[in-house]
């Protein structure tokens, strides 16, 4: 009986020993694997959040800067809306019969411009094209310098005391007519305005997305 | 205790790695939002700031004793009207910039006439106005008049202070807008200091 009890006791000790060993092995195994899994999980979550935040942040920043209202606000530079042309010309004054009385040379400045507040912008995000519609250019001011008048008289009798006043009016009429007919004045004003738009918007658009293009309508 | 130490060490290493990844990613990724004014962009802006100016001018030509002999010599006095285009601006290669915190110092040369071209088609027989009794003008004289017109147009534009000033101000305003817009994008209020240079890039001695 005692032998059986001893065998049983020994056997129980063995089982308990094995069981304890097993528990130790399981504990060690769980702890190291758990740590590794936790590290990988934390890393994965953080990288995922970072990527998501960075993408949405960049995307929303770009969209905000490239919005039509932001771009139009950037172009609100009224100081650059006016351009000037130098118009030194010659006006010919005739008498009632059509014969030439005299020629008068003058110096004048013609100002042409457009209203930057009327610029319209359309952003086509799909094709990445920003279409800028500029308002028409107009002559805004003409200034003839009366002190610059110089004469060549063909009819000496027309050289009177009031010739300066008459000539000054003739010069103003001449430059008004000539400048409205000279398309180059308007073309250069338009070109200068387009360069202003590109100089203002171009640096931002290039840095945000260099696939974008600016087109003028 | 050893087991807990291992866990703490592992956790600390993980945290350090995460921090390094966050900062490293931010450093090496292409930041799409403009962060600071760039000199290269400013030079491009200055090139775009050049002003094309339509120019209609009258060249006055006078020469004594052009034809005839003795007491019957004739002078040549005439005007010639022509037009062309004058380009004004600053030399973008001389523009420079330095940033110290929120203070931006920009070196900007004065504006000058970059080019001038007479439209040859604008010179025709209707362009000339002769004084009564003037000698006739030969083809050689007309060619001289054209060359004279070229020089006169450039000289007239170069001496037009208001025109040069408007070209200079144009570049300055565009650069100011560029820096202001960059500042708005990154919530920084930049302060601009201008250093004016002569057209050749030497410091402007007249600056106070």
Instruction: State whether B33 and A62 contact (CB < 8 Å).
Output: yes
Q: Which residues of A touch B25 (CB under 8 A)?
A: 50, 54
Least confident of A70-79, B19-28, B111-120, B183-192: B19-28
- Closest CA–CA distance from residue A59 to any residue of chain B (Å): 9
Closest-CA distance of chain B to residue A18, Å: 22
Q: What is the pLDDT of residue B66?
A: 66
How many structural domains are present in chain A? Answer: 2
B6 with A35: Cβ contact below 8 A: yes
User: Encoding tokens for residue A116?
Assistant: 């930057």
Which two structure tokens, joined as six digits, stand for A100? 């030439």
Coil, strand or helix at A133: strand
Q: Are A149 and A111 members of one domain?
A: yes
Residue B193, pLDDT score: 94
* In a shared domain, residues A80 and A171: yes
Same domain, B60 and B1: no
pLDDT (average), residues B76-81: 85
Task: Based on the fold, state whether residues A48 and A153 are members of the same structural domain.
Answer: no
A129, containing H or E segment? strand A129-133
Are B192 and B97 in a shared domain? Answer: yes
Collect all residues of chain B within an 8 Å Cβ-Cβ radius of residue A208.
Answer: 32-34
pLDDT at B146: 74
Q: Determine how many CB atoms are found less than 10 A away from the CB of residue A85.
A: 28
Query: How does residue B201 score in pLDDT terms, banded at 50, 70 and 90?
Result: confident
| Residue A38 banded pLDDT, cuts 50, 70, 90 | confident
Least confident of A62-76, B116-130, B158-172, B178-192: A62-76
Q: Kindly report the nearest CA distance between residue A95 and chain B, in angstroms.
A: 17
pLDDT at A114 over 60: yes
Euclidean distance between CA atoms A12 and A154, whole angstroms:
141
Arithmetic mean of pLDDT, B80-89: 92
pLDDT of residue A1: 45
Tell me if B132 and A153 make a contact (CB, 8 A cut-off).
Answer: yes
Where does the pLDDT of residue B6 fall: very low under 50, low under 70, confident under 90, or very high at 90 and above? Answer: confident
Of B34, B50, B156, the CB nearest to A204: B34
Indicate which of A41, A66, A102, A199 best probes the interface with B, i.e. most B CBs within 10 Å of its own CB: A199
Contacts of B17 in chain A (CB under 8 A): 43
Taking the CA of residue A190 as centre, how many other CA atoms within 13 Å lie in the half-sphere pointing to its CB? 14
Chain B residue numbers with beta carbons less than 8 Å from the beta carbon of A191 are 52
Q: Which of A65, A85, A106 is the last residue of a domain?
A: A65
Same domain, A10 and A48: yes
pLDDT above 60: residue A60: no
pLDDT score recorded for residue A11 = 55
Residues A40 and A95 in one domain: no
Do both A72 and A114 map to the same domain? yes
Between chain A and chain B, the number of residue pairs with CB atoms below 8 A apart is: 139
Same domain, B10 and B103: no
User: Are residues B119 and B47 located together in one domain of the fold?
Assistant: yes
Same domain (yes/no): B103, B188: yes
| Parent domain of B101 | 35-197
Same domain, residue pair B42 and B20: no
Question: Which of A86, A174, A186, A210 to mutate: most B Cβ within 10 Å?
Answer: A86
Q: Which of A17, A44, A65 is the last residue of a domain?
A: A65
Task: Kindly state whether residues A95 and A199 are assigned to the same domain.
Answer: yes
Same domain, B26 and B39: no
Count of structural domains, chain B: 2
- Give the percent of chain B with pLDDT over 90: 30
pLDDT digits (tens, 9 = 90+) for B10-59: 777 777 777 666 666 555 554 455 578 888 889 999 998 999 999 999 98
For the cut 90, the answer to whether the pLDDT of residue B139 exceeds it is no
Contact B55 A85 (CB under 8 A): yes
Question: If you average pLDDT over every residue of chain A, what do you get?
Answer: 81
Q: Model confidence over A62-104: pLDDT tens digits?
A: 556 677 888 888 887 777 778 889 999 999 999 999 999 999 9
Pick B18's closest partner by Cβ from A46, A84, A185.
Answer: A46
Least CA distance to A178: which residue of chain B?
B56
- Are B17 and B90 part of one and the same domain? no
Measure the CA dihedral B122/B125/B128/B133, to 10°: 170
Q: Are residues A61 and A95 in the same domain?
A: no
Q: Do A85 and B56 touch (CB under 8 A)?
A: yes
Within this chain, do residues B66 and B143 fall inside the same structural domain, yes or no? yes
Q: Which residues of B touch A85 (CB under 8 A)?
A: 53-56
Q: Which range has highest mean pLDDT (A85-89, B129-133, B204-208)?
A: A85-89
* Domain limits for position A42: 1-65
In a domain, B208, yes or no: no
Q: Are residues A199 and A158 in the same domain?
A: yes
Residue A105 token pair: 């040379």
What's the whole-number mean pLDDT along residues B120-132?
83
Report the range of poorest mean pLDDT among A125-129, A145-149, B133-137.
Answer: B133-137
Q: pLDDT for B148-174, tens place per residue? A: 878 888 888 899 888 899 899 999 999
pLDDT for A77: 75
Chain B residue closest in CA terms to A65: B185
The pLDDT value given to residue A117: 87
pLDDT on residue B111 = 93
Both A198 and A103 in one domain: the answer is yes
Residue with token string 């010069």: A171
Choose the closest CB to B18 out of A43, A84, A182.
A43
Q: Are residues A160 and A201 in the same domain?
A: yes
The predicted model scores a pTM of 0.72
Confidence band, pLDDT 50/70/90 cuts, at residue A3:
very low
Please check whether residues B14 and B101 belong to one and the same domain: no
């Amino acid at each position: 009986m005692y032998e059986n009890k001893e065998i049983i006791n020994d056997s129980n000790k063995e089982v308990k020993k094995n069981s304890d060993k097993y528990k130790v092995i399981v504990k060690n195994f769980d702890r190291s694997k758990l740590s590794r899994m936790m590290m990988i999980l934390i890393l994965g979550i953080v990288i995922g959040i970072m990527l998501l935040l960075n993408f949405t942040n960049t995307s929303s920043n770009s969209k905000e800067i490239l919005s039509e209202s932001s771009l139009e606000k950037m172009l609100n530079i009224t100081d650059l809306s006016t351009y000037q042309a130098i118009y030194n010309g010659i006006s010919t004054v005739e008498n009632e019969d059509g014969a030439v009385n005299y020629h008068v040379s003058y110096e004048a400045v013609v100002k042409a411009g457009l209203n930057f507040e009327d610029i319209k912008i359309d952003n086509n995000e799909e094709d990445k094209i920003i279409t800028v519609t500029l308002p028409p250019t107009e002559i805004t001011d003409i200034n003839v310098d009366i002190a610059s008048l110089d004469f060549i008289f063909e009819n000496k009798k027309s050289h009177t005391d009031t010739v300066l006043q008459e000539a000054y009016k003739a010069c103003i009429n001449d430059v008004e007519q000539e400048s409205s007919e000279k398309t180059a004045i308007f073309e250069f004003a338009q070109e200068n305005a387009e360069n202003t738009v590109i100089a203002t918007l171009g640096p931002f658009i290039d840095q945000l997305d260099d696939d974008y293009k600016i087109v003028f309508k | 205790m050893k087991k807990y130490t291992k866990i703490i060490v592992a956790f600390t290493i993980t945290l350090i790695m995460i921090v390094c990844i966050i900062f490293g990613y931010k450093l090496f990724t292409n930041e799409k939002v403009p962060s600071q004014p760039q000199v290269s962009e400013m030079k491009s802006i200055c090139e775009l700031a050049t002003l094309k100016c339509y120019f209609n001018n009258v060249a006055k030509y006078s020469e004594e004793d052009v034809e005839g002999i003795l007491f019957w010599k004739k002078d040549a006095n005439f005007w010639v009207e022509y037009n062309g285009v004058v380009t004004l601006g600053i030399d973008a290669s001389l523009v420079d910039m330095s940033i110290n915190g929120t203070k931006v110092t920009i070196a900007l040369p004065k504006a000058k006439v970059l080019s001038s071209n007479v439209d040859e088609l604008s010179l025709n027989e209707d362009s000339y106005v002769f004084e009564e009794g003037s000698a006739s003008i030969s083809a050689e004289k007309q060619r001289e008049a054209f060359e004279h017109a070229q020089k006169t147009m450039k000289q007239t534009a170069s001496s037009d202070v208001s025109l040069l000033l408007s070209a200079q101000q144009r570049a300055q305003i565009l650069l100011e807008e560029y820096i202001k817009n960059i500042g708005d994008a990154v919530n920084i209020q930049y302060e601009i200091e201008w250093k004016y240079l002569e057209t050749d890039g030497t410091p402007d001695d007249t600056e106070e």
